[in-house]
Structure 1
Amino acid sequence: MKKLAALALLGLISLPVLAQTTSTVKHPVWSENAAIYEANIRQYSPEGSFKRFQEYLPELKKMGVGIIWIMPVNPIGEKNRKGTLGSYYAVRDYKGVNPEFGTPADFKNLVDAAHAQGMKVIIDWVANHTAWDHPWVSSHPEYYLKNDKGEFVPPVPDWQDVIKLNYANPQLRVAMIDALTFWLTEYGIDGFRCDVAEMVPVDFWNEARAALDQVKPVFMLAEGEAPELHEKAFDMTYAWQLKDLFGEIANGKKNANDLAAYMAGPEKKFNDNAYRMLHTSNHDLNSWEGTEFERLGEGVESFLVLSNLLKGMPLLYAGQEAGNTRRLEFFERDPIQWKPHPYKAIYTTLFHLKKRNHALWNGLEGGEQMRLPTTNDNAVYAFSRSKAGNQVIGIFNLSGQPQSVSFSAAPSPARFKNLFSGASETLRPGKVMQLKPWEYRVLVK
């Protein structure tokens, strides 16, 4: 068994996966080769408005973004509010638009403009809890979970600005699905990113997805990593463990072989049909754990590129394309400082590669990852993905030391184009490749 495990790490064989879940989710066709952008309207501009963000849509189109995820657009509760402006996730009205960002007409114009650019829009949905001053608190107190004293309770002790809903109540489920449907019919959005999805019963999400798909084919992203979320409800979940592993490799606690072991082990519990969201930052990471530059250090660009090539859908959080090095305030206005940065061109190159190269498509439409054994697998993670005559090879020095790399067997074909330099490169057995610390090569057929 030890020998088999070692061979699996090298990508030469595949060990059987016994616990992979099923998935009957039918992904919208437009999601098959999409990359996703997370828009933080409050911090996008000094005005923090839908109108100002709408002006940026042509740039997102040029970058190759397929799906725009907009953080919650609902009015924010005032009772027990945190900070001056409150948390986006303390919803006071499920069918309302936050006046901080603009009018309902402004939001509708934004959605229509995104569609005109060929992009889809999903909005952040907070189904687990509401603000203390949501109308349901007085009109339907039975919708909420209560303690032994009959008092409303926060979902977790630190979330004192919200109170938890009770999905044992069937009428709550009806009301929540009605609110979700409202955004499809009134604003024409294309799906939802569902906050703390694992804190809401999976059978509710299954019920909701079935109802929403009757209106239009939707895209559903779960903030969660439970494989069963993919069975009937969600197109995509967060690759949280992979994000953590990136950090451990960057800090020298783990190495390229640990990444290979993760890909051959824990990641395989997800059905091949499941989309996994790959990211180096998002609103939570940036505000609470630190920027990608803080967490990933000198390896940040390498992990950025890697997250665009591994099996899954890459996420770009607002400001990453400008090389934002600041932790953005969560409960206050704290506009992104926009400036030219090389990362915008890198994301653009990678997003367009994903759109046209079938090997990088999502779920069953994309190619599987096969690790390519090298002379120094502890430091170097090399892999190939192939599909429909397309092939992409990634070679990453995941260490702070220079590496001399050679392959025991060359991929076929042996001649490729370097994605970023445009140069022709040939891979053959025994050929030595010199990689600087954290250097990467992306080779394309």
Structure 2
Amino acid sequence: MPQVLNPKTTHWEFSGLPGAIGITLGLPTLITFFALITNETYSLDGINLDITAVLSQLPSTPTEWFELCFNKACWTAYLVWFFGLVVLDFILPGKNMKGVALRDNTQLNYKINGLAMSGTLVVVLLARVYQSDNWFLPELQFIYDNQLQLTIVTTIFSFLLAVFVYVCSFIPLAKLNGSGNRERILSINGNTGNVIYDWFIGRELNPRIGTWDIKLFCELRPGLLLWFLINLSCIHNQYHTYGEVTDSLILLNALQAFYVFDGVLNEEGVLSMIDITTDGFGFMLSFGDLAWLPWSYSVQTRYVSLPEHKVNLGPVNIALIVGIKALGYYIFHSSNKQKSDFRQGKLDHLNLKSIKTQTGSKLLCDGWWGLSQHINYLGDWLIGWSWCLPTGFQTPLTYFYVIYFGTLLLHRQTRDEAKCKAKYGKQWEEYESKVPYKIIPYVY
């Protein structure tokens, strides 16, 4: 019996439709809230929240709401940013790589040009600094002064992009020879038939316009690089407004910039991640990539850039935080490299312990991967702690990221465990007996 290309989705993620609606409404509200409590007008004081003062920043009439949501300058700036990066993605040089084999046994081609893209951005910024008067860049000041408006713009844009790819998922693709049509490959999670849920989770696996892959572009371009610019805008404003830049703000910029450019420069590793191989591209990823990432991950930087929240760390604290970052980075990259090398047969001479599965693959249960099932997640989480600690202990707000990210990693671990149980059966039970800890060795 031939395999169905696009089987009906039977398992609903995030508690199904209620969860999808809750996330769709809740997370945009949350990043808007972040913008309202980390600005020059109102800044959160410890755990004290004056909700009346926070809400007073919002419009009171429909006309004012329209002006906030559809600010012409902000929409123009963001559209130039997004589609400017699209143009650069087409014209900048890069290498072509094939993705994983899809259910119809085809492999998509991807253009990998993160080095050229990030290099171009840095060169443009340096050129603007060279041309500027006293290092003042209107573009960075614009970002800082319009955080609330840009938060809403990116949210609305991600909503519209999710609608676009959802509608396109119903349009058949022409065959390569130009005759007839063929089905699009849908996500195994987004083919329920429920419009709202499929729009949220992503109906099509790899939405494309010609050879341009929308999902990979959004994963590593507009939101990730905007996060870098938001952080720079905080340094820019602190220097030009208050005549100084605190060491905590410099450290946060350095640590997060390293993360951003490490991700962009190693984008080929994303081709094997669950976001690309399994998840469809809907509102969840569209919003997550374009709005959630830049505006929630920059909360620490935006908070400490305000004068009432200045944090001066000193050399000892800086060294400790950099040490945590270095440890997390080492665990994350060393463990991922070990698994990659093992799969490619580069470590056969070490005779690492493994379990052969019924599919012919091997489950590594030695080295890093003998410590826990997802030791790389621990490294990633430690990196997150290095972003929160520079803010001191003034408010729980700046530790939101490690709480959120820890929850996300637990959810990923649960999804991966369910997938592996179904795929490997008894071999997975044997693996769990040898490697009982999920993420943190000897703890969980």
With normalisation by structure 2, the TM-score equals 0.23
Larger helix percent = 2
- The structure richer in strand per residue is 1
